[in-house]
Structure 1
Amino acid sequence: MSTKRRDTSLVARPQRRGDAERLPRGRHGLTREEVSTSQRTRLMDAMAELAAEKGYANVTIGDLVARGGLAKRTFYDYFPDKDACALAGAEHFAEKILATIIRPHDRELDLYSRVQASVNRMLEVFAQHPTYSRTFLVEIWATGPKVIARRLDVDRQIARLLVALSQDVSAHRPEARAIEEAHALAVVGAVNETLYRVVFLEGAENLPRHADKLIRVVSGLLMAQMPTTPDRRPPRSRRGQDSGAKK
């Protein structure tokens, strides 16, 4: 009697940490786009993990393909160098952060409640992705200028989003007021300092423990009144005054 051989084409290999996107061996029925997305994501995940573990400067392309379970030539199908891989990972993570700020927005809530919702969700995302958090907040400053420029651009995007949200609320609630971009950037800077210190010293998993303090800081800064620029007209010269008096 013949026995049927077990079809192992759909059986995935055992997974290790950071291997969640690994594809099964053999025929898998996935589209080329799905395979491409999986491979690209695995490389970005590998970058986040390795940069968090050993520092960005010490990560090599060989490390990335080994962690991702890919051939080196596959890396170059997606990225010209490791900075480009880090930039893609930063873009990927930035989208998650921006989404958390928009999602809980409700103009009917008071300012403190809106800040509370946004900060809590943001810290949850950081805590759920500790390697991306460390790479995005700490190790990113060791990357090339393009990646750092994108990181700074994310801060400006968040600031402009805060301005837009404040304008939306103030348009519907007379007691609310809109803020300027410089004001919003100051708020973002204060948040970044807290995130950086906690992630560097304690790890991203501990960020939710600092939520109450950060909510109070952000609320207070958003409610603060920015001073207006004083009207400083240049004084008339003494010589002009004297000559006028003589006439």
Structure 2
Amino acid sequence: MTEPGAIVERLPHGPHGLSREEVRASQQQRILEAVMLAVGTRGYHEATVAHVTTAARVSRSAFYEQYSDKREAFLAAYTAWGRQFFGDLVRAGQQAGSLREIIAASGEVLVQRARQEPEASRAFILEVYATGEPGLQAREEMLRLGQDLFDALAADLQARDPAAVPPVALAGLGVIGASFELCAHVLRHPGDVMLDQVREAIEDLWWVGLTGVSARSRRAGDSRS
């Protein structure tokens, strides 16, 4: 996927020096972005292939050369968007230093994505349920990516502090799922105040999941020491 909110430009008419594979890849990229936009804006059931092809600036035949139907295209877009999203979370953590900074950076990525890409975020967080069992399976895959990220942070915490109590099994699934629900709240109730509240709540969730202690309790303890 490209930068948040961007739709890849249509290829110029006439000779352009691109191979068939490059043309196909460009069309696919535009379709993936357009289907997230269409579904996030109109809802899964109301969005049509025509809405997608119009936004992607591709022909109907070009769409069906790559995907058998709207659901297949949406689930491909959902997976691509989700993998990029979790990749952004990993990169944000790698650029941070302490665990506190990693958690804060991760929370920032979560809420800023909801703010900067509200349509795609709505499609990813809410509309995937409308696709039935295939969508639930795709969502489980994304939650497993979140669980892997959470487990990596827990292992890092254990390496830094062997006395730290390991999180309970599947805590990461709960943390990621709750974080998605908080981001959905931002989508339903946009605004800077709500954004700040959700960012703080997500940070607290991750602290509780990883350490069993909320960020507020930790700050209170730091201030007394």
TM-score range, shorter chain: 0.7 to 0.9
Deviations 1:109-158 (A, max 9, x none): 44322211221123333433222111101211112321221112211221
Is 1:37 matched up with 2:28?
Answer: no
1:4 match: none
* TM-score (normalised: structure 1): 0.74
Q: In 2, Cα distance between the equivalents of 1:203 and 1:90?
A: 25
Is 1:51 matched up with 2:39?
Answer: yes
- Measured after TM superposition, the shift of residue 36 of structure 1 is 1.3
Change (3 A) 1:209 1:38: farther
Is 1:102 matched up with 2:93?
Answer: no
What's the C-alpha RMSD, in Å, of the aligned pairs? 2.7
1:93 match: 81
Equivalent residues in 2 for 1:135-154 (5 A)?
A: 135-154=123-142
> Which letter does structure 1 place at the counterpart of 2:122?
R
> Which letter does structure 2 place at the counterpart of 1:113?
E
2:59 match: 71
Deviations 1:28-65 (A, max 9, x none): 12232321121011111221111122111011222222
**Large movers: runs of 4+ above 6 Å:** none
Equivalent residues in 2 for 1:1-247 (5 A)?
A: 19-105=7-93, 109-202=97-190, 207=195, 210-224=198-212
> Which structure 2 segments of 5+ residues have no match?
214-225
Aligned residues of 1:127 and 1:208 also touching (Cα < 8 A): no
Structure showing greater radius of gyration is 1
- Measured after TM superposition, the shift of residue 108 of structure 1 is 9.1
Aligned residues of 2:99 and 2:157 also touching (Cα < 8 A): no
Q: In 2, Cα distance between the equivalents of 1:213 and 1:48?
A: 27
Aligned residues of 1:94 and 1:154 also touching (Cα < 8 A): yes
Q: What is the SS of the residue equivalent to 1:95?
A: helix
Q: What is the SS of the residue equivalent to 1:105?
A: helix
Q: In 1, Cα distance between the equivalents of 2:150 and 2:116?
A: 24
Aligned residues of 1:187 and 1:222 also touching (Cα < 8 A): no
Q: In 2, Cα distance between the equivalents of 1:220 and 1:94?
A: 24
* Range 30-39 or range 106-115, more displaced: 106-115
Q: In 1, Cα distance between the equivalents of 2:134 and 2:200?
A: 34
**Could you tell me the percent identity over the aligned residues?**
27
Q: What is the SS of the residue equivalent to 2:170?
A: helix
Q: In 1, Cα distance between the equivalents of 2:92 and 2:54?
A: 39
Which is helix-richer, 1 or 2? Answer: 2
Deviations 1:158-215 (A, max 9, x none): 11321133113313432434324422222122212211222133289x7466323321
Change (3 A) 1:86 1:184: same
> Which structure 1 segments of 5+ residues have no match?
1-16, 226-247
> Which letter does structure 2 place at the counterpart of 1:184?
G
> Which letter does structure 2 place at the counterpart of 1:32?
R
Q: In 2, Cα distance between the equivalents of 1:108 and 1:70?
A: 41
